[in-house]
Structure 1
Amino acid sequence: MVWGRGAVDMKYMDAMVLSVVRAWARAGVRPRRDIVVAFTADEEASAEDGSGFLADRHADLFEGCTEGISESGAYTYHAGGMELYPIAAGERGTAWLRLTAKGRAGHGSKVNRENAVSRLAAAVARIGDHRWPLRITPTVRAAIEELAALQGVETGFDTPGFDIDALLDRLGDTRSLVEATVRNSANPTMLDAGYKVNVIPGHATARVDGRVVPGGDEEFAATMDRLTGPDVDWDFEHREVALQAPVDSPTFAKLRAAVERFAPEGRTVPFCMTGGTDAKQFSRLGITGYGYAPLKLPRGFDYQALFHGVDERVPVSALHFGVRVLDHYLKTA
């Protein structure tokens, strides 16, 4: 294992890319077309100082670029006795919200029908309890159909009374690849109010991590207006677009082929990321992004659980696999 903070998110991809281009330089290998390698900061926050800065102020560095690959895809996902390699062909949009409730400040021992904390707490509870309606995008539908076909499950998308939860149950362990992306979502994550137990504050704030499927923006905003109610204001603290990339394109076919060349026992499937990457900012330059940072992982290695943890690590053999896949794909891209 290679251990270290950021080993899986996503220094391992940095190391593999550098290994590939260094080997090319030593051997005099020239790819079929120009490949731009960009290392960016700030992806975990707004990306304003990383990919956003590059896209907005240095677009010329990416002139002619049509596709990009980055994190969170083509890693081994063991489920249902299968060895899957999900390739990201979409991302939900980012909708980080700030909620503000205003009220009447006063003594904690007095009746107060304009309590900002109570107003905020009620809105946060409504948001946390809300059940978002089904909104299946083409990328997510393709993912579900391929996962279902691998397991001999009928999807029944077009049948009356279609039940997404029943279908997800039939997908077994593979449901986790798709279940968070069939709807918009909003999770309260931060609360801030008051400074003393016997003082009712005049205002209270909260943060909500919202994620929006492609085409779900109007629904998201209208739902937030309704759930927050008349006594709580909300606005976007950070907002970024949702993405979809074609899964029937020559690019996606080559991404599949490169993985399956070195993992013939595996099966590649498309999927949509629950969160987002720097592909959002680069999409402003007309670059179609795919999540593709290949790793071949042993059964029992919980890759997703290591993100942002204190014991991040990646198997050396997985890095060797990823370098071979990237080398092959980039030479044929």
Structure 2
Amino acid sequence: MGLDSKPSSTLHGTASHDLADFPVPTGREENWRFTPLSRLRGLHDGTAAGSGTVVVNVDAAPEVTVETVGRDDPRIGRAFVPADRVSAQAFTSFEKATVITVPKEAVTTRPTVVTLRGEGGGAVYGHVVVAVEPLAEAVVVFDHQGSAVYADNVEFVVGDGATLKVVSLQDWADDAVHVSQHHAHLGKDATYKSFVVTLGGDLVRLSPSVSYTGRGADADLSGLYFADAGQHIEHRLLVDHTVPDCRSNVDYRGALQGDDAHAVWIGDVIIRVEATGTDTYELNRNLLLTDGARADSVPNLEILTGEVAGAGHASASGRLDDEHLFYLQARGIPYDEARRLVIRGFFAQLIQKIEVDEIRERVLGAVEAELGS
């Protein structure tokens, strides 16, 4: 190991704000091998001209401050560092950023909803910062709609003792491309709950990540996705435990139907040498509803200390359980309805975690519509 006797992580690659530090991917790299680069429309190699439009509208809770700022605002880039070339391209290319601030000890009375609507054209690059100051509590919803070729970074800075709950809904038009990095930076005793719902778009690649700065922080990352014929949906998670006595839980579930429907889930959890007392678990489950659909699921757990409270992971991909279907049909329920009930049950526990009633009902309706198709 050379002069440094501490083991180092193999899961955490290059991180830099400088685009030059990231070679143009070829598809042979570990973090790009599942992504169809030809469908990124130039987001990965610098050929995507920033001539499109994504309209950002923030319906803020009364306790929240919303600002549109320039690239030189000191709050931008303090909580995260891009981990791939598209993220770095977005960081160097955006013109204006949205900064949402929840002041110290404030408890918001309703969710803050950020609507991002694509209006076609060329590529668009964006940046959002959500700063929740110590002991504050907030719910923030991101609602992605319309047609776009969009790359962005979202920073969540959760102060000591603060609580942030985020719902990110990717409900794009069928031709949209969206590549995004979400990074949560958690203070001492902070709580962060993320729920990602990916339904629309031609190609969506979302990379949520979490880092810790103080003891006692808790991250819960949940996700639901439904891939149709020809659709590529990819979620790449990284939870980096660097301080003692923190917790993380990951639960992502997806369903796929139709020829060339493709879902990718990568779950990387690192427990550093100094992160004693860590408690972590990650789970990914996929339902393959038709022939021709494919799910790639790769959980990775790297433990660099022997003093952990708990650590584990699980992954499963398969078809509907014939015994469950037979049980329901034996009680007079037709096959199509039995199939619906089993799939609803597969998602039900996750959907109930969505605390925004309107979004929860919308997701339930979207799942029903997928099953109807």
TM over 0.5: no
- Normalization by structure 1: what TM-score? 0.23
- Normalization by structure 2: what TM-score? 0.21
Q: Larger % of helix: which?
A: 1
- Greater relative CO, 1 or 2 (CA 8 Å, sep 6+): 1
Q: Larger % of strand: which?
A: 2
